[in-house]
Homo-oligomer: A and B are copies of this chain.
Amino acid sequence: MLANVKDIFVHPKAICESDQIGDRTRIWAFSHILEGAKIGEDCNICDGVFIENDVTVGDRVTIKSGVQLWDGIRVEDDVFIGPNATFTNDHFPRSRVWQQTLPVTHILSGASIGANATLLPGVTIGKGAMIGAGAVVTRDVPANAIFYGNPGKIHGYVGSDNGSPSRLGLEKSTNIDLDSELTGGARLIKLNRMSDSRGNLTVVDFKDELPFVPHRFFTVSEVPSQSVRGEHAHRICEQVLIILNGSVTVIIDDGKVRMQVLLSDPRIALFIPPLVWGIQFEFSSDAILGVFASHGYDAEDYIHSYDEFQAFMLDFGVKSKIEKTM
């Protein structure tokens, strides 16, 4: 039972059996916190929430009504969990069949789970991700992704300035300002195309048009529409992306500003310098993405974790605006 803590509110019709509740946290009526649960400070546990034993909840977390947190759920700081959002911890539940080890579900800091969303066991919701209302989450969601539908897909990425999604769309028919500097030194490269009745010729002159000497070229194709590629930064390697067919959405993020670029015109390539976090998603069914890289493959060159990327950028003396606002 809770004891010796001054600034905690537990509604008289709630049941709080844990004594690991942080300061200023409020627990409302008909909620039930089992003995082993650990809840951080400044949380708001609304009416009718149920929290099992093997659960940890960070600071400043909001949990709306009708939510249950089962054994194996890990909720980091600043998370929002909407009403009737539903968690699970058994891939193939059968009555009175218990698992020996539970899958662990992680809701990383700053993420939001929309109302009535359903999360399958063991998924990880990345930092700052936004799960839409009614979504069914069957797989991990990367940091800052906007994700909804049944089954859920990524539909965008959270922008940086005000927490709302922003999108820099480059439609084929639009006049594109090729001179604008993009996030982290990225920029668009207009390729030469000669068109006549015999078709189109699109040219990449390496010396004149690429900002580096490429040492590798690869293509990405036949990507299922719900899949996401990239999700890493390079320490040294530079890249130029050309959409050879179809379209793809590219996220570029230097730890301070995040932008979305829709590549759908083979004449417009995208240069991505090192130390820019890159994600590609929303591949059209016929998409073929070509990539020039300045270096051969080197596993050491990859930063695969967004956290590590942010840390790395801070070491570079870069003060992350994203981290502040979230």
B-binding residues in A (CB < 8 A): 13, 15, 28-30, 32, 42, 44, 46-48, 50, 60-62, 64-66, 68, 70, 78-80, 82-84, 86-88, 91-97, 110, 112, 114-116, 118-120, 130, 133-134, 136, 149-151, 163-165, 197-208, 214-224, 227-229, 242, 244-245, 266, 283, 286, 288, 290, 292, 296-297, 326
Contacts and interface: CB of A to CB of B under 8 A. Distances in A.
A134 B118 contact: yes
A175 to B, nearest CB: 14
A214 B206 contact: yes
Q: How many monomers of this protein are in the complex?
A: 6
A192 to B, nearest CB: 8
Contact of A216 (B120, B150, B204): B204
Contacts of A219: 200-202, 242, 244, 266
Given A66-B66, A119-B133, A134-B150, 10 more contacts: A48-B50, A68-B84, A78-B94, A80-B95, A92-B165, A136-B150, A150-B150, A205-B296, A205-B297, A286-B286
A289 to B, nearest CB: 9
A95 B242 CA distance: 39
6 contacts: A78-B95, A119-B133, A149-B150, A150-B150, A202-B220, A207-B215
Contacts of A68: 47, 64-66, 83-84
Nearest to A203: B218
A112 B130 CA distance: 29
